[in-house]
Structure 1
Amino acid sequence: MTQAPVPPGLVEAFWEYERALMDDDVATLDRLFAPGPTTIRGDADGLLVGHDQISAFRGRRGGAPRRRIVQTHVQTVDDDHALVVAVTELERGGRGQQTQLWLRTADGWRVSAAHVSTPAPALDTRVWRVVGDPLVPATGSGPLDGESVAVKDVYAVRGQRIGAGNPAWLAQAREEPVTARAVELLLEAGAAVRGIARTDEFAWSLAGTNAHYGAPPNPRAPGRVPGGSSSGSASAVSLGHASIGLGTDTGGSIRVPAAYQGLHGIRTTHDLVSSYAVLPLARTFDTVGWLTRDAGLLQRVGEVLLPPGPRNPAAELVSVPGLLALAEPDVGETVDRFAAEHGAMRESWDLAALPAWLRAFQTVQAREAWQDRGAWLAPRLDELGTDVRGRFEAAAQVDEESADAARRVVAEARSTIRDLVGDRVVVLPSASSVAPLLGTGLQSVREATLTLTCLAGLAGLPAVSVPVTARSGLPTGVCLLAGAGRDRDLLQLAIDLA
């Protein structure tokens, strides 16, 4: 260490910390960080505030990158405070830097604030499967000139393979001879394809925690899941790597990552936007969707992808307390406040059939997923991540008789939901909670969120997620649900409400 005099005991504490970091000795690292709610640690993924948050982050990250210290400098502030700046050299190559503010306590020196920087990867494989500069240039000029697109890895891009979030599938995939129609339209309107973004395996998840490639970062809620299955597209937009995230939404795969990452997103009316050359999950519910950082661009993409049609700008807003109650209190209260501020009328719905509707949705989804993927997956189930494997294993047990019974329930639900929505716009949560912490159990959150998101899927309706902030300070989403074909109306409403 350079610069004298160095306070007694600081050097020893610094090297004890460094050894613990390389050994992933979480207990020692916890001890060497100052206790209490004001201790902070920051890096490129975000800021952690409070010893408990920092400790939880260390416990789930699986160790720090291997490195060695090549230079240190100490700036003594006073007898009880010192700033230590260290230059690090990573085993994988490149140099980084860490800055620590150390505090002398009755128990010895402790870190009260830290900032860590490491070389950015040339390609963040959690977010992208392949990128270019651009990967595919625009083929025309129009309202999307200068915009860049992160394409979910279920869309065909000519000359590229569809990976569907699974290495085994990618290994046997052919190069696509055509480009998906939705991608073609974006290219013709002036946008360029930045790259092909990660998805959860076969697009069957709402979390975004791909077992093979890792979870794309959530910059708006560091240490929390990004939301799936359009996770890579969402994170690319949230990180500023692309301005448009092209995805799909079957059971919430646009609306959930939009809510978790503070983005605007739309799930379109079923079959309104071409799904040509898109790998299906469940054809009865699959829709094209996209995410952006602002409502204006969300609408401009809609002008390109949505067919022309009649407009109904009238927007009578309705909120349903029974639906708000399905979300965790901080989310439900936030959406309720949004609805009240924008003049939504409260309306009571009979939701007694909702659990049966959800079961029917899941049954039909499972049957269709297995019909499309079962022959390939049956001998390869062990190549799936645990959660997705469990869904496909359950799907294999759904017979045609059960699926037919579920289809009848879906048809009844579709008619009922469309009648309830009518010409109004229903305000409800886009997801049941804020983004859960990485490494926590997600099944209960998934079920609660699907209970809300399945309404649009069952009825084939458009839904736009508008970003808001929950009481906790974390992003969440307000979902605007409207009648079939009112996609353009919803896009304009999102601008008006913003």
Structure 2
Amino acid sequence: MTQAPVPDGLVEAFWEYERALMSDDVPTLDRLFAPGPATLRGDANGLLVGHDQISAFRSSRGGAPQRRIVQTHVQTVDDDHALVVAVTELARGGRGQQTQLWVRTGDGWRVSAAHVSVPAPAVDTRIWRLVGDPLVPPIDSGPLDGESVAVKDLYAVRGQRIGAGNPAWLAGARTEPVHARAVEQLLEAGASVRGIARTDEFAYSLAGTNAHYGTPPNPQAPLRISGGSTSGSSSAVSLGHASIGLGTDTGGSIRVPAAYQGLFGIRTTHGAASTYALMPLSRSFDTVGWVTRSAELLRRVGDVLLPPVARNPAAELVSVPGLTAIASEEVAAVVDRYAAEHGAMRESWDLTDLPAWLQAFQTLQAWEAWQERGAWIAPRLDELGADVRGRFEAAALIDDERAVAAQDQVDEARDRIRELVRDRVLVLPSAASVAPLVGEGLDAVRTATMSLTCLAGLAGLPAVSIPRRTPAGLPVGVCLVAAPGRDRDLLQLAVDLG
């Protein structure tokens, strides 16, 4: 260490910390970090505040990258405080830096604040399966000149394979002879394809926690899940790697990551945008969707992917307290405030059948998913992540009789929901909670969220998610839902109301 005099005991504490870090000695690391709610640890993934958060992070990460100390520098503040900056060299290559503020306590030297930097990977494989500069150039010039697209790994990109979030599927996939129509339309409008982005396995999740490739980061809510199944595309847009995230929405797979990551997103009217050369999950509910960082770009993409229709400028907003109350208090408060600010009429709906509607949605979705993928998945269940495997195992048990009954109930729900929405715009939460922390249980959150997202899915309605924030700064999505075919009206409304 340089810059003497160095306070007594600091060198020994520093090297004890380093040895504990390299051996993943969590108890020693916990002891050497100052107790209390003000202790800080930050890196490129976000800031941890408080000893408890830091300890939980260490316990779950499985050790730090192996490294050696190349240089150390000490700047003494006073007898009881010192700043230590260490230059590190990683075993995998590249140099990093660690800055620690040490404080002398009655129990010895402790770290009260730390920041760690390591070389960024050439490609973050949690986000991207393939990436280029660009991967596919524009076909023509048009209204999307200069924009770049992160394509969810369900769409055909000519010359590439569809991976669907599963390495075994990718290994056996064919090389696609043509672009999916939605990809082709974006290229014809002047956009380029930045790359092919990760998805949850077979798009059968809302979390983004792919068991094979990891959880794409959520830069707007660090250490929280990204949301899925349009997870990689959403993270790429949120990080600025691409300006458009092309995805799908079956049960919320655009609206949930948009809500969790503070993005604008649209699930289009069922059948409005082309699904040609798009790998299906559940054809009764699958729709094309996309996310962007601005409402204006969201609308411009709609001008390219949606059919021209007559505008309906009517924008009578309605909110339903019974739906908003499904969400957590912090999310409900944000949605209620948005609805009030924009003059939404509060209306009471009979939601007695909502649990049965959700069950019918999930039953028919599962049955269709098994019809699509069951023959391939049945002998390969061990090659799926636990959550997706569980859904496919349940799907395999649904017989035709249950599927027909579910279809009948879906048809009834579709008619009823459309009657309730009419020519108005429904305001409700895009997701039932803020993004859960990585590692938290997700079953209850998934059920609550799907109780909200299934409404548009059941009725085939367009839905736009508009980003807002809680008082604590976490992203929340406010969802606007309208009658079939009113996609362009919703996109314009998102621009006007923001």
- 1:424 Cα deviation (Å)? 0.7
**How many angstroms apart in 1 are the aligned matches of 2:381 and 2:180?**
28
Query: 2:126 maps to what in 1?
Result: 126
The answer for the alignment partner of 1:470 in structure 2 is 470
Matched AA of 2:13: A
Q: How many angstroms does 1:334 deviate by?
A: 1.1
Q: String of CA shifts for 1:124-178, please: whole Å, max 9, x gaps.
A: 1000000011000001111110010000000000000000000000000010011
Aligned-partner residue type, residue 367 of structure 1: W
RMSD: 0.8
Letter in 1 for 2:298: L
- Match of 2:22, SS state, is helix
| Residue of structure 1 equivalent to 2:70 | 70
User: What amino acid does structure 1 have at the position aligned with 2:374?
Assistant: G
Residue 5 of structure 1 corresponds to 5
Separation (CA, whole Å) in 2 of partners of 1:332 and 1:13 = 47
SS at structure 1 position matched to 2:119: coil
* Cα contact 1:330–1:472 (8 A) shared by 2: no
Whichever residue aligns with residue 22 of structure 1, its letter is: M
Identical columns (%): 80
Alpha-carbon distance, 1:25 to partner: 1.8
Shift in Å at residue 52 of structure 1? 2.1
The superposition leaves residues 248-272 of structure 1 with CA deviations (integer Å, 9 ceiling, x where unpaired) of: 0000000000000001100000000
Structure 1 counterpart of 2:57: 57
**How far off is 1:48 after superposition?**
1.7
Question: Match of 1:416?
Answer: 416
Match of residue 150 from structure 2? 150
Deviation at 1:217, TM superposition (A): 0.5
Q: 1:479 is paired with a residue of what secondary structure?
A: strand
Note the alpha carbon deviations across 1:47-68, whole angstroms, 9 max, x for none.
2222222222222211111111
In the alignment, the residues of structure 1 paired with residue 476 and residue 173 of structure 2 have an alpha-carbon distance, to the nearest angstrom, of 36
Tell me the equivalent position of 2:48: 48
Deviations 1:17-47 (A, max 9, x none): 1111112222222221122222211111122
- Equivalent in the alignment of 2:172: 172
In the alignment, the residues of structure 1 paired with residue 168 and residue 414 of structure 2 have an alpha-carbon distance, to the nearest angstrom, of 36
Structure 2: distance between partners of 1:205 and 1:351: 25
| SS of corresponding position for 1:221 | coil
Give 1:288's aligned residue.
Answer: 288
Q: Once the 2 structures are TM-superposed, how far is the Cα of residue 347 of structure 1 from its aligned partner?
A: 0.3
Deviations, residues 89-135 of structure 1 (Å, cap 9, x unaligned): 11111110011111111221111111111001001100000001100
TM-score between the two structures when normalised by the length of structure 2: 0.99
Mapping for residues 433-452 of structure 1, pairs under 5 Å? 433-452=433-452
Distance 1:378 1:290 in 2: 31
What's the offset of the Cα at 1:472? 3.0
Matched, 1:432 2:432: yes
Instruction: Write out aligned runs for 1:349-368 (5 A).
Output: 349-368=349-368
- The equivalent residue for 2:229 is 229
Deviates more, 1:257-266 or 1:109-118: 109-118
> Offset at 1:402?
0.2
SS in 1 for 2:185: helix
- Between the aligned partners of 1:494 and 1:52, the Cα distance in structure 2 is 40
Tell me the distance in 2 between the aligned counterparts of 1:368 and 1:338: 36
Equivalent positions of 1:312-461 (< 5 A) are 312-461=312-461
What is the TM-score normalised by the length of structure 1?
0.99
- Hey, what's the Cα distance between the residues in 1 that align with 2:244 and 2:193? 9
Q: Distance in 2 between matches of 1:35 and 1:380?
A: 47
Structure 2 distance, partners of 1:247, 1:64, is 33
Q: Which amino acid aligns with 1:293?
A: R
- Secondary structure, in 3 states, of the residue corresponding to 1:432? coil
Aligned length: 498
Render the CA deviation track for 1:397-452: whole Å, top value 9, x for unaligned.
00010000000000000000011011111110000000011111111111111111
Q: How far apart, in 1, do the equivalents of 2:33 and 2:298 lie?
A: 43
Alpha-carbon deviation of 1:380? 0.4
- Out of 372-381 and 38-47, give the one that drifted further: 38-47
In the alignment, what sits opposite 2:489?
Answer: 489
Take 1:24 and 1:497, find their aligned partners in 2: how far apart are those partners?
50
Unaligned ranges ≥5, structure 2: none
Aligned partners of 2:92, 2:297: CA distance in 1, in Å?
A: 39
What is the DSSP-based 3-state SS (H/G/I as helix, E as strand, rest coil) of the residue aligned with 1:104? strand
User: What is the rounded CA distance, in whole Å, between the counterparts of 1:467 and 1:22 in structure 2?
Assistant: 41
Deviation at 1:467, TM superposition (A): 0.5
Matched, 1:276 2:300: no
The aligned residue for residue 114 of structure 1 is 114
- The answer on whether the counterparts of 1:283 and 1:368 sit within 8 Å (CA) in structure 2 is yes
The amino acid of 1:411's aligned partner reads D
SS in 2 for 1:363: helix
Give the conservation status (yes or no) of the 8 Å contact 1:217–1:226. yes
AA in 2 matched with 1:307? P
Q: Which runs of 5+ in 1 are unaligned?
A: none
The whole-number CA distance in structure 2 between the counterparts of 1:384 and 1:54 is 31
Question: What is the CA–CA distance in structure 1 between the aligned matches of 2:63 and 2:495, rounded to whole Å?
Answer: 43
3-state SS of paired residue (1:149):
strand
Amino acid at match of 1:234: S
